[in-house]
Amino acid sequence: MAIDLHVHTTASGDGDFSPKKVVEIAKEKNIQAIAITDHDTINGVEEGLLWGKRHGLEVIPGCEFYTEDMGKWLHLLGYFIDYKSQELSKFTEKIEEERKKTVRKQMDKLKKAGLFLELGDLYKSNLKPMFHNYANVIFADSRNKDNDLVKKYLEKENPIVSFCMDWLVPGKPFNAYQYTPKASDIIKLIKNIGGVPVLAHPGALLKEEEDYIIDDLMFLGLEGIEIYTSWHNERNEEHYNKYCLGKDLIITCGSDFHGSLKPKAKMGEIKHNTYDVVEELRKRSN
């Protein structure tokens, strides 16, 4: 039976399915265990655990944290976290407040770039907008249909994600700065709440010659790397497997399932998705 350690729900703001529905999809696919890893929030975990128990599916409490190290935007996954921790609640509340503060600044930057979007449409998408929400509103606004930049992305396999990665995420031209915690603080937080910190899909965010950043994360307490993921090709898998040789790192697997946002990321359909990965993570949790 398969597992999937990187699954998003509606709590992420860019996932299609409620935690209940995510559990039902996993059960239909005969998946043994999933980790609910929403972006900077644990709001979907309790419902997921409830429905997992009812359906006989193991649900691992997790979170995907946006963070940075050495000037690079990174995603860190925390597994087997104490999702009721006050320390975690304070952190997620701070992230939500910081995100709200940057909405108008981000909108102004996009409008100055010649793109149309309305605040009301953005808030219909998410009261605490993330990069994908801005992109969705831009692509849905008919006034942008003749914009050469928008048209270029409509031809791509996954226009929303591609646009975000090229223009909106930290370090890209249309990004308006918002608070991003340091990787050192996130790794410390994950460990403080009993969890295991794992670097998500490094091939999507780092170049091969930037492995020194992963070295730094290991020094800070990183315990695993997500190698088998919808983001990676065979070259990425080979590179990060070689990186892990001789190192005390857990190799994990997760689809990064969202639904329509990433239609090729199918829950449970990743390589090396066997239950022994869950057992290794559980051994390292507190």
Model pLDDT, residue 157 = 79
In this prediction the pTM is 0.94
Give the contacts of 86 (CB within 8 A, at least 6 positions apart).
none
Q: What share of the chain is helix, strand, coil (3-state, %, to 5)?
A: 45, 15, 35
pLDDT digits (tens, 9 = 90+) for 189-228: 999 999 999 999 999 999 999 999 999 999 999 999 999 9
81 neighbors 193 (Cβ within 8 angstroms): yes
Instruction: Give yes or no for a contact between 203 and 72, defined as CB atoms under 8 angstroms apart.
Output: no
CA 31 to CA 160: how far, in whole Å? 28
* pLDDT at position 98 over 90: no
pLDDT tens sequence across 141-157: 999 999 999 999 988 87
State how far Cα 2 lies from the chain centre. Answer: 20
Domain boundaries, the chain: 2-84+183-284, 103-168
**Which pLDDT score, from 0 to 100, does residue 57 have?**
97
Spatial CB neighbours of 168, under 8 Å, sequence gap ≥ 6: 131, 134, 135, 174, 175
pLDDT over 70, % of the chain:
100
| Mean pLDDT of the residues in the chain | 95
Nearest 5 degrees, angle CA 14-CA 45-CA 223? 90
Amino acid identity of 166?
D
Distance separating alpha carbons of residues 244 and 260, to the nearest angstrom: 32
CATH tag for 2-84+183-284 (out of 3.40.1160.10, 3.20.20.140, 3.10.129.10, 3.40.50.300): 3.20.20.140
User: Over the stretch 240-264, which tens digit does the pLDDT of each residue have?
Assistant: 999 999 999 999 999 999 998 899 9
Closest residue by Cα to residue 10 from 36, 32, 29, 31: 36
Residues in the chain: 286
